Structure 1
């Protein structure tokens, strides 16, 4: 049995606490939050769980094996470092930290102490993204040509991070998981429509050595919520609509062919191929539950998570690069990175 504490019971904390409480191999020991009202909610729903306004109570408790942090990103580094230095395994909400320097320091601390550092990029654990990764890894799509994503809605406006750090990180982690490749350059355009608040809309383009190009549209200003991805390969293509109640993933046997055949020099050199479409069966379990189970497995088996500190660092690097490009009005930012992929 692994004893786990949670720091933060705000937006994501209740989902995390619920899943930790329902996993048989976990004992949810304590929850810390600065709000008495939120702690009262915890006590009503989970009367056996200790509550406290002082997160240090969890860090000092020798019976707690791991701590999950679900607080604003500006607090992740200080809290995460305190957890690791106390010898406890660490779960961090996304993005991992505010800066890549902070992420690198947490990663080094976790590796030095041989502790699990898990970053909650929840989309990686959805049945849809896992199925997409399975199809990509099989080679069924052929060469990956492009990734096109729209991730927009009206709000929630964040006060401490821009829309790239809030929404773009989902696509950064999905791309990292699907392609096992870090982009070599990023260009982004975005804007802050309301003085004194972070950028609320951005268009991001990423370039890869393999020839893949990725385009991501993120916004807090759309009249409707959209969560759609197009993944194009040389053989087949995938559409992913996260808001679809069923058939979130559809695979299209469609593509193009290109020829340099001298005999066809006067004909159109591009041909089109259309085949069947099918919707593969997906694991419909809650992604956060899958993530929690994976976290526990990693602690018990001393193995790195799929969304470990290395992935967390790569995502933060992309947030930095895209934000720098956006504030330079689309100036291309080149990335030199030798990523360690699981």
Structure 2
């Protein structure tokens, strides 16, 4: 089998046993132990993202890169350099037939993911795949089931989830330092690039949705999605979009994505009942700030007759702390997590199920656009006829 051309877009189960806790992982921030025997790896795709996978795989002690596979053999050779001992091939079948290769990392267009991932899993290979995991939720669910039934690791490269700042955000939310989650508000806007094959929602929102999925505290899950989008320049696809995710605890998560902004903005605000954090990814001096500021409501049991006639809301203004963050390449942590998951026979932090959850949010958003912004249940493939008629009215 020969695979499709590499893309240019920005875009476990223990062997013979059960997955090591789909929500119970060891400390994700502790350095992984290097395997006694290095894991043979092949990278598939030498386009936009493939060279980054190659570079980080070669710098990960637990991995040994054997192949770079791409339809454009000359491009693959340029990525590796003149003196590399890594093999180059245009045949995916050749990669899968190599017994030295225990795992493959796939960085090809999303439309090819299902076929390539399925073939790799059927060949007994562990898989790291770029997002989105596939283009449909049904295909993604099929791949997740196949990986788990085969005792293989299926991991999604949700790269932002492995940055030091997102790891710290996850710690703060899971550890309760922010209190109860009240809102999640992200802005990811810049001028271009208008993609030829997807709209702005599918191009940019997966980053924020994968971060949301990663940092949500235990027990809080998305229950509904609504979306609004526009194509003001006549590009034939949405260039500006607003996405709202309703959470099970009553909070809202909001994402603004835009290809038409004259300035680049990458900010996320997460409010809790105790503290609020601001993540400005374009500010390397203070990328993350935690504010002891917010709104307090007098508890009912403390209400007196006098207070009832006064304002029950008070505003808290305290200190701001900028936590120290280590500087490290996120993709190196992705590779280390993939190697550790394979070695330890456990589900990775961003496993196939994480990829499936993000895909379901995107599909729900697309369905909401079709229904003029109606809220669509996350797990629903479509609204019932009665609901559609109610929306139409």
Report the TM-score range of the alignment, normalised by the length of the smaller protein. Answer: over 0.9
SS of 2:81's partner is helix
| Equivalent position of 1:340 in the other structure | none
The yes-or-no answer on 1:65 pairing with 2:102 is yes
Which 4+ residue blocks in structure 1 deviate beyond 6 angstroms? Answer: none
| Equivalent position of 1:156 in the other structure | 193
Q: Cα distance 1:128–1:209, how it changes in 2: closer, same or farther (>3 A)?
A: same
SS of 2:99's partner is coil
> Among 146, 171, 179, which residue is 1:134 paired with?
171
Displacement, 1:196? 6.7
| Equivalent position of 2:212 in the other structure | 175
Cα distance in 1 between the residues matched to 2:103 and 2:197: 26
- Superposed CA deviations along residues 95-133 of structure 1, whole A, max 9, x for unmatched, are 111010010010011011100001000111010010011
Cα distance in 2 between the residues matched to 1:136 and 1:245: 22
Matches within 5 A, 1:1-342: 1-44=38-81, 47-179=84-216, 180=218, 181-193=220-232, 197-259=236-298, 260=300, 261=303, 262-336=305-379
TM-score, normalised with respect to structure 2: 0.82
| Structure 1: gaps of 5 or more residues | 338-342
Cα distance in 1 between the residues matched to 2:42 and 2:379: 37
Q: Cα distance 1:32–1:336, how it changes in 2: closer, same or farther (>3 A)?
A: closer
Displacement, 1:46? 5.9
- Superposed CA deviations along residues 174-198 of structure 1, whole A, max 9, x for unmatched, are 1111114321111000123466744
Displacement, 1:281? 1.1
Cα distance in 1 between the residues matched to 2:80 and 2:224: 48
Displacement, 1:43? 3.6
Cα distance in 2 between the residues matched to 1:17 and 1:77: 21
SS of 1:250's partner is strand
Q: For the aligned residues, what is the CA RMSD?
A: 1.6
Contact 2:360-2:379 within 8 A present in 1 as well: no
Contact 1:119-1:312 within 8 A present in 2 as well: yes
Give 1 or 2 for the bigger CA radius of gyration. 2
Matched length: 337
Q: Cα distance 1:77–1:214, how it changes in 2: closer, same or farther (>3 A)?
A: same
SS of 1:292's partner is helix
Contact 1:42-1:51 within 8 A present in 2 as well: no
SS of 2:188's partner is strand
Contact 1:232-1:238 within 8 A present in 2 as well: yes
SS of 1:184's partner is strand
SS of 1:91's partner is strand
